[in-house]
Structure 1
């Protein structure tokens, strides 16, 4: 089990600018929640001009609490996002979010996670652990994390071997750069392709092919920010049939071409 949150910026477009504009940090949940929860993410901002942040979403569900200025706090469940996520921040505010492990939200939702895919829905009534819980109103990071621990523990997640399998397989795709084809991945893990597909749709919310492609595209975005690339070689490394296919997918998910994104980072 991980003892500190991930330190990468994968999925965040122009991460250096984001860190200049807002306070962004990650924290781990209480240990009992870590089989299902990747990390908590906290953002605070005080801006003189509007700031737009763009995110290439992970194949993960998030629960998000937001408060703008002195306004009311609201919470929502954000299913796996298929498209580029854009948000414009203004004035002052804060966000407290929970990123679940791909497959992990099923332990709390207890229904097919695919019904949330591509959607953002208000946090269901009765899910809050009492009206006194106001995550974003907490002063310190420890207090905010404790509020989130209280919320999620109150949902009483239950261990489930199917969830454990989905989480394990999705993590294998994330960490194994050689996972490029669904049939090869299924054979490597001794699973029928149809069973793998059903498992991911039920517990992750998207199919294994989509998860493979999303993680590999996030790698392409990360590498594009790092300096000049041979795009044909990168396309082959990421399992694309040709460079043009990678360019089309990159442009669709990031909103700009690979060359334009690389130039903007420099």
Structure 2
């Protein structure tokens, strides 16, 4: 799955990566589309930290080895698939022959595109045929037969536009509740959301699992973590300030969350 850039301009180029922002019709559905191809043999490892996107990976070559919360083993190979939210680190290994197109969906976009409760994707990599059926197989074949990346991006965008247009949008209440958590940086009280909707906590949790794949408390936790991770990239090392800004009780609370959601400490990520 697509990762960051090379460590140095003087190092050999080991992979090709191209990103495209979504067309205006898909800006609330897709964050970006990536093309990725490895150029030299080797063992490459990437770690993703409790991300809030829902990826669809369409593979054209060797599968990735992927595991949740641990290093992958030989039987953890995955070809084309969709993956839901996971409240922890995901380790991705490849071996120099991977080539794929990845669509990164927003939570709202994923629910409309896949047309299933997102709880069916949570903590899983689900094969393409199981999430999109014959349409997915036909899309994979069309993309594989096309060698130009821009044309591949055009084809997948057209497919998403058509599929989303035919889907029912989220109900306004659950859309408001999810957006409330996202826009507050995960700091809105869950009880207050339930009260404003006049829903029980149980009903709220059920609707959240359908819309996002996780309970509201888990989503808020992941949103706070991602905001802290974003703030840490300022590079000033002020973890106490980040903890306060993101609603953690103290710096020790933030450190515990980083161990759970990233598998490492804040200090490790900042070095």
TM-score, normalization: structure 1?
0.76
Of 73, 82, 93, the residue aligned with 1:77 is 82
Who is 2:120 aligned against?
115
- In the alignment, is residue 191 of structure 1 matched against residue 205 of structure 2? no
C-alpha deviation, 1:69, in angstroms: 6.2
Q: How many residues align?
A: 247
Aligned to 1:258: 266
C-alpha contact 2:237 2:270 (8 A) present in aligned 1: no
After superposing on structure 2, the runs of 4+ consecutive aligned residues of structure 1 that deviate more than 6 Å are none
Match of 1:7 in 2: none
Correspondence for 1:245: 253
The 1:131/1:170 distance shift into structure 2, 3 A limit, reads: closer
Contact persistence 2:185–2:227 (CA under 8 A) = no
Deviations 1:104-161 (A, max 9, x none): 2222333321121011111123132637834255333321112213433554653534
More deviation in 135-144 or 96-105?
135-144
TM-score, with normalisation over the residues of structure 2?
0.74
User: Residue 106 and residue 224 in structure 1: after superposition, are their counterparts in 2 closer, same or farther (change >3 A)?
Assistant: closer
Alpha carbons 1:106, 1:163 under 8 Å: kept = no
Offset of residue 88 of structure 1: 1.8
In the alignment, is the contact (CA less than 8 A) between 2:84 and 2:125 conserved in 1?
yes
**Against the structure 1 CA distance between its residues 164 and 120, is the aligned structure 2 distance closer, same or farther, given a 3 Å change threshold?**
farther
Change (3 A) 1:116 1:255: same
**Aligned partners of 2:219, 2:186: CA distance in 1, in Å?**
13
Q: Which of 147, 152, 158 is equivalent to 1:139?
A: 147
Structure 2 runs not aligned, ≥5 long: 64-77
The SS at the match of 1:162 is: coil
Unpaired segments of 5 or more residues in structure 1?
A: 1-11
Give the alignment's Cα RMSD to 1 decimal: 3.4
Partner of 1:95: 100
